[in-house]
Structures are given as structure tokens and as C-alpha cells.
Structure 1
Amino acid sequence: MANTPQKHQKKPRWKLLHQYYTYTGFYNFIGRSLLKATPPIIVFIIIVLSIHFFVIDINDILLYVTENFHPIGVFGVFFASESILGLIPPEIFIAWSGKNEYPWFFLSILSVLSYLGGVLSYFFGRGIANIPRVFVYLEVKMAKHIKNMRKWGGLLIIAGALLPLPFAISSIAAGIIKFPFGSFLLFGLLRFLRFVIYGLLIFGVL
């Protein structure tokens, strides 16, 4: 009796996704993005350490800000930064929260504001998509981010939420391509995990 050919087993979904992300260059993109983000982080750390050891104790600066600036003002600056391309490193605000009477409560507020800043950026992207002239301009300026968002979608949002990558830019790109809002909210929740991890590290140092 002739042997019947065996049916090819269907590959698991995770393997198919892994192949897709490999072929489309997602892993290379993350690697290159982290390499680009590393030098500024190193420079920032060197500047902070230089100020700390040769100019003034960083703890004194943080205590001064804590004692002389109302928390609402600091939260407002942070929210604006997180909504506009993440102009100020969130680590500065995390360190500031560690000098307050209730550090984890303040850190929780920062994480919520960062998450809401991403949501605002998402709707900014959605709004842009309805303004033809602005949309065409930003489609050229953010062509790479928009293209990547169309290819990788949720995984790019996860990377922006967890890694030292611009979460606001990922959020704007998600809004421009009209990525499902419910899925965006779900993936964006990992932003909270990033703040917990950074809080544990920075509070331990300070």
C-alpha cells in the first residue's frame, strides 16, 4: 500500500508573527532605535552626575523643587511634555516624585498623566487626519513612523510604552492611521509598568 503524503502541520500563530516581524525588520528597527536613544541617555546621566559631584547635590535640587513649586505645576509641565513628543525625560519627574512625602502616590499620578498624554497625542493624530493640508505635511515628516505603524501596529505601541522610545510619536502615528482606539488603550497600559520599573530603580538610587 502506497504511503500517503503527510499533511503539513500549520505553524503556531506566534511563529508566524515572529517570521513576519523578522521579515519586515521590526527587530532591527527596535535595535536601531535603542542604539539611537542610548547616547542621549548616557549624556544625560553624565550631565546629572557631573552636576551632582561638582556643582550641587541633585537631592538638594529635587528637595528645592519639592519645597518651592506646587505639585500641580510640576504635574502640568509633565503632562504637557508627555503630550508634545516627550520633550523632557520622564526620569527627572520620577526622581522628583521620590522626594515627596508620598513617592508612590506621586509616581502613580505621573504614570496616569503619561498615559493620558499618549491618549491626547492619539486624538491629535486623529484630528490631523481630518485636516488635508496638515495631514499631507505630517505624512511626509512622519512617513517612517506612519509606515511602521501600518506594518507593526500594536507591537510598536507596546515598544513605545515600555522602552525609552517616543511614546507620543507612536501615539500620534496610531491616531493618523486610525488604529483601533480600544486596542490602543489596551497596549498603552504597559506605560504603567514602565513607571513602576523606573520608580523601583530611581527610588533605590536616591
Structure 2
Amino acid sequence: MQKQKKSRARLLHQYYKYTGFYAFIWDNTKKALIPLSVIVGILLYINYKVMSINDMLLYITQNFSDTFIFTLFFISESILGLLPPDIFIAWTKSTQSPLLYLSFLAVLSLGGGILSYYKGRTLLLIPKINDYLEGRMSKHIRNMQKWGGFLIAVGALLPLPFAMACLAAGMIKFPQRHFFVFASLRILRFVIYGYAIYSALS
């Protein structure tokens, strides 16, 4: 029994290797690290030249309502993840209830992915939009067909476009039950990144 499990794992490893899954993860992670590095550089510059990051986050907390920030975050997570979640995670550190706010962010992020999934399933019913999306997202759709849930899991955990993976999953009608299992890993991302960012800001 144990031998069969190892054999299956080896076959899966070979499949993902031959189909370019590992190369895809590495290439997209490198692409994601570039804008992330730019953002970190800007924050460090502000921290040392303008005001401390803690003061900046406190300023945001005092001048923007929680509703506005949560709404902005949800919109970003529902479209293409235009704004890095890490900025919002750092913001929660300066609030009165950091863990509660961080948990709410995680739920909103997962909700944005779920919305993208159902958006992908619904938009298929409109021929013109379906044709447009299939043309624009042909690469993502092919990748989703090849790698399925693992691509959703990677999008959920790594700095890759989670909403895009969820949209592609909806477009190929990836099974809902399996989608929710893999997408729920998004919560784990906020736990890990929250711990790292909170430690850095302490």
C-alpha cells in the first residue's frame, strides 16, 4: 500500500515536471517578486526618509474608514488582485483588533476568489464575453485544464494572481466542491504572511 502511494506521487511529480508546472510557478513567482520588491523599496524609503511605517499605517487608520479600506481590498481581490494583500495585512497591525481585522481580510480575499469563480461560470453564458475571455485568458484556461486544483492552491498561497486562477477555474467549470477545498488555502496564506509581517513591524 505504501509503495503504491509513493508510485503515485512519483507519477504526479513526473507529470507536473513534463507539463511545465514547476517552471510556471518559478517564472510567475519571479515576475511577482519584481513589483513586490518595488513596493518594499518604496515602503523602506518612506520609513527612513518621510515617516515610519507604523506612523503611516496609523495615519491611514485615522483618515480612512475601515469600510472604505475593506471595500477597496475586496474589489481588488475580486478583479485581478491589483493591490498586494501584504499592504492591507500590515494595516491591520495598527488597528484596535489586529487579529479580528486580519481574519476579516482573509475571509474577504477568499470571498473575492469565490466571486471570480462564479463570475467565470456565469460569463460563459454570454457568447460575446465568453469569446473575449477565452481569447484573453487562453493560456490560463489551458493551465487550469492541465493542473486544476494545484494551480488554485498555488494562486491561494503564493504571490500569484489568485482571482485569475479562480476565474479560469470557473470558466472550465472546475468542480465546486474541489474548488472550495483548494481555494480555502487562501486563509492559510494570511496566517503565514500575517505572522511574518506582524513580526517585522514589532
User: Is the shorter-chain TM-score for this pair beyond 0.5, marking a shared fold?
Assistant: yes
Q: SS of the counterpart of 1:137?
A: helix
User: How far is 1:95 from its partner?
Assistant: 0.5
Question: How much has 1:152 moved relative to structure 2?
Answer: 0.3
Q: Matches of 2:27 and 2:91 in 1, distance apart?
A: 30
- Which one-letter code corresponds to 1:68 in the other structure? N
Equivalent position of 1:93 in the other structure: 88
TM-score normalised over the length of structure 1: 0.93
The TM-score with structure 2 as length reference comes to: 0.95
Partner Cα distance (1:124, 1:158) in 2: 19
Percentage identity across paired residues of the two chains: 55
Amino acid corresponding to residue 68 of structure 2 in structure 1: G
Which residue pairs with 1:114 in the alignment? Answer: 109
Alignment of 1:43-192 (within 5 A): 43-192=38-187
1:38 corresponding residue in structure 2:
33
Note the C-alpha offset of 1:198: 0.6
Alignment match, 1:12: 7
Q: What letter corresponds to residue 34 of structure 2 in structure 1?
A: P
Distance 1:135 1:47 in 2: 39
Letter in 2 for 1:116: G
**1:79, distance to aligned residue in structure 2 (A):** 0.6
Give the aligned length: 198
C-alpha RMSD of matched pairs (Å): 1.2
Structure 1 residue matching 2:177: 3-state secondary structure: helix
**Which 5+ residue runs of structure 1 have no aligned equivalent?**
1-8
Q: Structure 1 residue 12: deviation in Å? A: 2.1
Provide the rounded CA distance (Å) in 2 between the counterparts of 1:120 and 1:185: 12
More helix by share: 2
Distance 2:60 2:23 in 1: 40
Structure 2 unaligned segments of length 5 or more: list them: none
Question: Secondary structure at the residue paired with 2:174?
Answer: coil
Question: How far apart in 1 are the matches of 2:189 and 2:124?
Answer: 29
Counterpart-to-counterpart distance in 1, 2:56 and 2:30:
30
Larger displacement relative to structure 2 (143-152 or 37-46)? 37-46
Give the structure 2 partner of residue 6 of structure 1.
Answer: none
What is the Cα deviation at residue 56 of structure 1? Answer: 2.0
* Alpha-carbon distance, 1:61 to partner: 1.5
Deviations 1:121-163 (A, max 9, x none): 0011111211111111111111110000000000000000000
Letter in 2 for 1:176: M
